[in-house]
Amino acid sequence: MPTPDQWLFPLFTDHQQYDRSVERLSDLHIYTGSRCNRQCDFCIVSGRPDGWYEPITEKVLEAALALVPPDGTIKFYGGEPAIDADNVLWAMAWLRGSGFAGWFTIFTNGVLADRIIHLLEADERTDVVLNYSILHGEDAEPIPLDALAKLQAFAAGHPGRIYSSHAGVFPFGKGNDFVEAVGQLHIIERMHTSIEKKLAAGQLDEAAAAKAEERGFRACPRCRPVVTSDGRHHACPFAVESRMPHFQLGDLGTPPEAVLARYQQFLDWINDVLEPEAERLGAHPCLVCTHGLGSLPTYAGKFHGERKVDNYSASSPQSGG
C-alpha cells in the first residue's frame, strides 16, 4: 500500500469541521443510484453497469436545499455520477440559481476524466474525490493511465480541487463479502493507511488515532444523510440501498424539520443502540447494519418509548433499486 508521501492526490476532508452529533447539517448527499462503469467487490452500494439510475429533479433539489445551509456542502455520489454529467451540471446550475453558495463535492472513480474535468471547470467551488482503491490499483482495476494523466494535469493547475478518498473499506452490504474474502488483517492494514495519511496531513492527532486503534476501528462514521433521486430521505450514505426502516427519514413530501428531527434521533440511536450492540458482538457497526437490524428497534421505536422489533429477520432483503 502507498505510504503517506506516495498518495497521488491529497486526502479529502470536509470543507467545514463540525461535531457530527449536532443537529444542523453542514453537508448532505444526493444519490442517483447504483449504475456504475465499474463493478468493484468492495462497493457498499453494489455499483455495476446494470444498476439502477434516476436523474436528479427539481423536487429532489428543493428537498436538499431545505436541509443544507447556503454555505454548506452538497455531495453527489452513486454509482458513478459522471455517467450522466449533464444532469449533474444542470443540478449544480439550478442550486446556484436558487442561492446555494457552498461547495459541491463529487465522488467518482475518475475513469471518465474528460467529463469530470468538465464538471470542475463549470464551477470553481466544485471538487472531486477519487476512489482510493481504483486510483492506486488496490483491490481493484486501476484507473486508466490516460485518465489519470488528465486529472493530474488539471490538479497541477488547480490545487485543492481533486482529492483521494480514504483507504479504508467498510463491511456493509457487498463490502461485507469482500472483507470476508480478503481477511480482517488486510482491512486493518487499509485502515492504518488512512490513519497514517490523516496524521501526516494534520487531520488527526495521535490521541484520536490511538483511540481508533484501541476500538479496532469499530465505529460508525456518522456521515450526513441522503436525498435519493428516487425520492427518499435516508439516514446513511453507506446503507442507502437498504430499505430497512431503521434508516428511513421520509420522502420528498416530508417537512424538512421532521427529517432533521428524525436524523437527530437516528444519531442518538447509533450512540445508544447500534454501537453498544456492535461492541457486545465484537463487530463493526456496519456489519450489524448488514445482518443484525432485524433484532434491534428502529430509532422511532426506541425514542418513542416502544421497544418494538420490526418484522424483519437478519436474512430479510435489505436492499433494492
Cell 445482518 locates to 291
**Mean pLDDT, the chain, whole residue set:** 89
Q: Taking residues 36-63, what's their average pLDDT?
A: 96
Cα distance between residue 95 and residue 75, in whole Å: 12
Domain count for the chain:
1
User: Whose CA is closest to 243, among 309, 172, 318?
Assistant: 318
- CATH code, domain carrying 231: 3.20.20.70
End-to-end Cα distance, the chain: 34
Which tens digit of pLDDT belongs to each residue from 6-48? 999 999 998 876 666 555 688 999 999 999 999 999 999 999 9
Which tens digit of pLDDT belongs to each residue from 170-228? 888 777 788 889 988 898 899 889 999 989 988 888 998 888 888 888 889 999 999 99
Domain assignment present for residue 319? The answer is no
Domain assignment present for residue 265? The answer is yes
CB 301, CB 310: distance < 8 Å: yes
Domain assignment present for residue 17? The answer is no
Domain assignment present for residue 9? The answer is no
Q: Which residues are CB-neighbours of 170 under 8 A, at least 6 positions away?
A: 44, 221, 238, 284, 286
Give residue 291's domain range. Answer: 24-311
CB 66, CB 263: distance < 8 Å: no
pLDDT score of 21: 57
Which tens digit of pLDDT belongs to each residue from 249-280? 999 999 999 999 999 999 999 999 999 999 99
Cell 431545505 locates to 66
Handedness of CA 173, 198, 227, 135 (dihedral sign): negative
